[in-house]
Amino acid sequence: MWRIRLDAPGGWLTLEVRDADLLQARFYTLRLPAGQLLELKLPDPNTWWMGLEDVHDRVLYLHGYGDRKLGQHKGIRAFAADSGIALWQQPELAFYGIEERGLLVSNISQQGGELVLLESGYGKTIRNDITQKEAADRVQRYHKVRFGAVQYPHLYREGETYYQQVHDFLVQELDCEPVNVLEYAETDTWLVVSYYRKTGENKLDNFLAVFDLNGFLHLNELLAGAMDGVGSDTFFIFMRSLYFVQNKTTLKAYSL
């Protein structure tokens, strides 16, 4: 599993799964909370040079590549999240971000030029005179609205505020020695912590623990083993469910 994108207002989760041996990429939509999974049926045999960009307003966006060596995104293809039907495509434009009325795109051949606002479902131009600063402000402002219902964990590094408190709690409750960073989230009934433990040959194991507010342990799962470093946003909470990817291959959800 390579990438996950969430359409919080619409209740859609989208997945990008890549197989390096077969040089194939597959893309899925998942309706939440029911868990209805749909694979996009793409006509192109060479899906390796496509990637998941975003999902919004029941529309899934894929990108191609302009400069493959640099990983430069170029081209936008839009699909209906509920059916997988192709809606529109713009091969010469590059995705910039989502704002309240649609998606912002740029022409990568025009460096520093103005951005264009497209309607989500049909790809029609709404405005074509948006400055870089205005585009950044619009995306940032709408980001708070898009993901207001999603809870991502706080990242605490060793030496930072609150790290030691969470660290000492894990030492006491799990009899272990967490290292490097902790990710912490709290709901009205649960405490969720992603933590790392040292293993052989300077590797790290990443675990996810869930406690009730009385400190009783309900879940303690290995997310990934023998890692070279730490990650971030290893889980998120949405619609009273806990979501995470295990071993880079399995998407799991637990009701909270």
Q: What is the pLDDT of residues 50-91, one digit of tens each?
A: 999 999 999 999 999 987 777 789 999 999 999 999 999 999
What pLDDT score does 15 carry?
A: 97
Q: What is the pLDDT of residue 44?
A: 83
- Output 62 or 46, whichever has higher pLDDT: 62
**CATH assignment of 3-146, among 3.40.50.150, 2.30.110.10, 2.40.128.630, 2.40.50.140:** 2.40.128.630
Confidence (pLDDT) at 84? 94
pTM of the model: 0.90
Q: Which two tokens stand for residue 93?
A: 């434009």
Q: How would residue 113 be classed by pLDDT, with cut points 50, 70 and 90?
A: confident
Q: What is the DSSP string of the chain?
A: --EEEEETTTTEEEEEEEETTTTEEEEEEEETTTTEEEE---S-S-GGG-EEEEEETTEEEEEEESSTTTT-EEEEEEEETTT--EEEEETT-EEEEEETTEEEEE-TTSTT--EEEE-TTT--EEEEEE-HHHHHHHHHHHHHHHTTTEEPPEEEETTSTTHHHHHHHHHHHH-----SEEEEEE-SSEEEEEEEEEEGGGEEEEEEEEEETT--EEEEEEEEEEESS--S--EEEETTEEEEEETTTEEEEEE-
pLDDT at 33: 85
Nearest to 180 by CA among 143, 232, 136: 232
Tokens of 192: 């969720």
State residue 88's pLDDT score.
Answer: 96
Mean per-residue pLDDT over the chain, rounded: 94
Q: What is the pLDDT of residue 70?
A: 76
Say which residue, 60 or 110, is predicted with more confidence.
Answer: 60
Q: Where in the chain is the domain with CATH 2.40.128.630?
A: 3-146
Per-residue tokens: 17: 């799964």
Q: What is the pLDDT of residue 109?
A: 75
Q: What is the mean pLDDT of residues 96-114?
A: 88
In percent, the amount of the chain with pLDDT more than 70 equals 99
The pLDDT value recorded for residue 68 is: 74
What's the confidence (pLDDT) of residue 161? 86
Q: What is the pLDDT of residues 165-212, one digit of tens each?
A: 999 999 999 999 999 999 999 999 999 999 999 997 889 999 999 999
Least confident residue range of 2-11, 105-114, 147-156, 167-176:
105-114
Query: What is residue 175's predicted lDDT score, i.e. its pLDDT?
Result: 95
